[in-house]
Amino acid sequence: MGNVLAAEASPTMPSPPIPGMPPAPPATAAGLVPGSPPATTNGAAGGIQNPGSFEDLFKKVKEIMPQPIEGCKLVVNKGLSNHFQVSHTLSLGAFSPSSYHFGTTYVGTKQISPTEAFPVMLGDIDTSGSLNAQIIHQLANRLRGKLVVQTQQTKWAVYQGELEYKGPTYTGTLTAANINPLDNSGIIVGHYLQSLTERLALGAEVLFHYGQGQRAAVLSLAGKYSTDNWIASGTVGMTACHAAYYHKGKDVQYGVEFESNFRAQESAVVFGYQVDINQANVTVKGMLDSNWTVAAVMEKRLQPLPFTFLLSAVLNHWKSQYRFGFGLMIG
């Protein structure tokens, strides 16, 4: 799971990144990715398989949403070996502050599947000294561990550890974040997701946080129904609910996401889509939300060169806000 600190206010809402600190870069060295361990092919009788991780309930919808940029962005990825890669990211903006990020990715030699190897080490640091680092390792056949450290300049922001166990038809995860025995504070989160049929999985999340003389526990229920072409998932608790629908076509993917925070009495709906124009090596992602924000990002792969050109736009006519950007990715 991501930064569990955001769950204290709304345990079923997705965890936003630390302001000014991008997520750690993906591991792409040697074509390997640091995804979860294989979802196990040794399912129970009747073909029931592992349902995947709790944090992946809304992964498909999130992937098709555009990530707009403002101003100019240059990304250079350089593979130094089959297991080690570095990246340089330079962002120049008129509204957001300019920044430079240096990222590293190491993928180990413990091969789990054709696309996965461990351990995986990710790091990203910017010119202000803010650091985002992760270590992911397959501890046993079904057990995976992850350590996450995030700092904001000279201050600790997040430090958390996670253990995930993937059984034949279920996944259990335990996460501890910002545990401080000196002031007796911290957050502990437990996730459980169980496949009931080939398509239906149900689970729960228990979040316990303590500190400043207060303690509280929040329970949320979750469910996912998946077919070959679409996935419907959701979570609901005492403070918030989150639901999403994802559909995949031949060259078009689209999805709808709904979030509601009962405490803040706020709700939002987002519709997103992704169109792949393979003949032109173009991918277009767009979205429209209930706040009347429209965004789109176009990616043009300049083959056979290892270049990708990006165009981005975000418009909100109601608030008279307009943001445009372009970028170039090398490698």
Give one DSSP letter per residue of 59-100, joined into a string.
HHHHHHS-----EEEEEEEEE-SSSEEEEEEEEE-SSSPPEE
35-39, 121-125, 171-175, 240-244, range with the lowest pLDDT: 35-39
- pLDDT at position 163 over 90: yes
In which element (H, E) is residue 241 found?
A: strand 240-248
Domain of 47, CATH number, reads 2.40.160.10
128 phi-psi bin (left φ>0, alpha ψ -120 to 50, beta other): alpha
Q: Count up the domains in the chain and report the number.
A: 1
**Global pTM?**
0.83
Contact 197, 224 (CB under 8 A): no
6-51 residue pLDDT tens: 443 333 333 333 333 334 333 333 334 444 444 444 444 458 999 9
271-287 residue pLDDT tens: 999 999 999 999 999 99
Residue 108 burial (10 A CB sphere; 0-12, 13-18, 19+): middle
Q: Kindly indicate the confidence band of residue 97, based on its pLDDT and cuts at 50, 70 and 90.
A: confident
203-230 residue pLDDT tens: 999 999 999 888 999 999 999 999 999 9
Secondary structure of residue 279 in the 3-state scheme: helix
Residue 82 is part of which domain span? 4-330
- Give the whole-angstrom CA distance, residue 42 versus residue 171: 14
How confident is the model at residue 2, as a pLDDT? 47
